[in-house]
Amino acid sequence: MKKKFITWTFILYGLYSLVLGLYFFQWSNPGVPPEYEGTAADPATFMTAMELELSQEYSTYQNFLSFLGEPLEWIVYLGVMIFGASIVFKQFGEKVSRFRIIQIPLFVLLLSTLTSILLFPIDYVKRRLSVEYGISTQSFSSWMRDELLSFWIGWLMMAVLITVLYFLMKKFEKRWWLIAWLLMIPFLIFMMYLQPVVIDPLYNDFGELQDKQLEEKILTLADEADIPADRVYEVNMSEKTNSMNAYVNGIGSNLRIVLWDTTLNRLQENEVLFIMAHEIGHYVMNHLYWNLAGAIFATFLGLLVTYHLLRWSVRRYGEKLGFTKVSDIASLPMFYLILTLLSFLASPVELAISRNAEADADRYAIEMTQDTEAAVGSFQELTVNGLSDVDPPALVKYLRYGHPTMMERIYMLENYELSEEE
């Protein structure tokens, strides 16, 4: 079984890598569709030849690496089970303590550590590319700090969730998935409330926006949209990246309007106001709450399907892998494998919904600001600054993009101006 796994992994992953390489480096056409030529969406009208070449190179390499890394997590989970590492992790936990409340978090820690180490090379190469192409300005030590911070935060949350989940599996054999889903609802709401004030400040320094005149204009936009905000936060991102961003997140009293300092440094005031109007549009159209509702619905479907697939998989393969019960913590890699596969299969639908929401926010922003020149200029500057591919290959767009392409967004804004003049 182990030899077959190694052989087929090399063959299938090798073929997958070859097809990916051909798709991104040979078959994808970086040219501009005829209908966009000469418009504001045509990168030749706002990017130099060097910038255009760099953006195409950088995007191609990053997309290739992202897709190359996609199945590696699945391979790790399969390998952990086939080579018996899940049994070793379980036995180690049993030696450390006889209490499951200790054994389960320890198993999660061992599995998370192994997975992170095996996937680290892809993450490191992506980071190096970002540095070499001038996107990332973050030192290796700072990057590693963020990586380790994410690891421990992720482990802490997963340790709690998986411990509760496997207790439910043991006690409620046929209804654990439903009870787990009901418990996830307040957890998701709580995390949405907690994110802006507890988790985000662990990574970056947040302070009040220094430009009080700009803050007043942004708060005026927020007031027109009935957003209960009395300040705008500026976050120091220039020490980590040259990319630009702004967002509105959180709920209730923890709602925050946030601007990256890179955005403030590189965009004109009217362009910043358009970007903020876009983010305000998400709030006005309740996208934050729709995202929460979508996560709750997706969790329900995911746990229901996982329940059935996990039961079938344990019955079919569990004995060969060293466990015969779903509630055995050694089945966790199988649980993760099913969830990640389901997440991948659901991503095209989720991303399509997200792209639609982003397009709605763009329309809201242009209607609110009535400044098409600033809208187009802001997206053009975002493209140049982040070396974004304005027209990515279809595989990238439908499997990785939660926003319309920059070409689509700029073209829509330019046409909006023409329709208004008519």
Which residues participate in catalysis according to the annotation? 279
How many residues does this entry show for the chain? 422
CA dihedral for 309, 310, 313, 315, sign (positive or negative): negative
The identity of residue 152, as a single letter, is W
- C-alpha 258/C-alpha 256 separation (Å) is 6
Count of other CB atoms within 10 angstroms of residue 221: 19
Contact predicate 378/276, CB 8 Å: no
Contacts of residue 115, Cβ cutoff 8 Å, sequence gap at least 6: 73, 76, 77
Q: Evaluate the CA torsion angle 16, 17, 19, 20 in order and state its sign.
A: positive
Answer yes or no: are the C-beta atoms of 376 and 413 closer than 8 Å: yes
d(CA 215, CA 218): 5
Give the integer Cα–Cα distance in Å for 180 and 335: 14
DSSP string over 127-173: HHHHHHTTSB---HHHHHHHHHHHHHHHHHHHHHHHHHHHHHHHH-T
Report which secondary-structure segment, H or E, holds 210. none
Long-range CB contacts (within 8 A, 24+) of 179-184: 180/303, 181/299, 181/300, 181/303, 181/304, 184/296, 184/299, 184/303
Q: Cα–Cα distance between 289 and 82 in angstroms, integer?
A: 41
Q: What are the tokens at 302?
A: 């995911």
Nearest Cα to 99, choosing from 163, 183, 180? 163
Count of beta carbons in the 10 Å neighbourhood of residue 84:
14
| Cα–Cα distance for residue pair 134/157, rounded to 1 Å | 33
Helices 140-171 and 100-132, packing angle to 10 deg: 150
Contact, 301 vs 309, CB < 8 A? no
